Amino acid sequence: MGITNFMDDMELAIQVLNISPSTTRDDLNIFFSYCGTVDKIQLKRDSGHSQSAVVTFKQPYAVRTALLLNRPGGDLVTAAQSAIQVLTQKGNEAMNKAKETVKQKGRAVAQQACSAIITAEQTAGDISSSIISSSCISKGASWLSAALDRASKSMAELGGVKAQSPNLLKQK
User: 80 and 56: one domain?
Assistant: no
Residues 9 and 36 in one domain: yes
> At how many degrees (to 10) do helices 76-133 and 135-164 cross?
60
pLDDT for res 162: 58
pLDDT score at 9: 43
**Is residue 112 included in any domain, yes or no?**
yes
Same domain, 48 and 7: yes
Residue 63 and residue 83 share a domain: no
Task: Specify whether 12 is located in the same domain as 51.
Answer: yes
**Domain harbouring 25, CATH code:** 3.30.70.330
Per-residue confidence (pLDDT) for residue 68, from 0 to 100: 81
Q: What is the reported pLDDT for 87?
A: 74
- 3-class SS letters over 9-46: CCCCEEEEEEECCCCCHHHHHHHHCCCCCEEEEEEEEE
What local confidence, expressed as pLDDT, does residue 166 receive?
A: 56
Q: Is residue 141 part of a domain?
A: no
Domain that includes residue 48, residue range: 2-70
Q: pLDDT below 70 — which residues of the chain?
A: 1-10, 71-83, 131-134, 137-138, 160-172
Q: What is the pLDDT of residue 56?
A: 94
Q: What is the pLDDT of residue 83?
A: 67
Q: Count how many domains the chain has.
A: 2
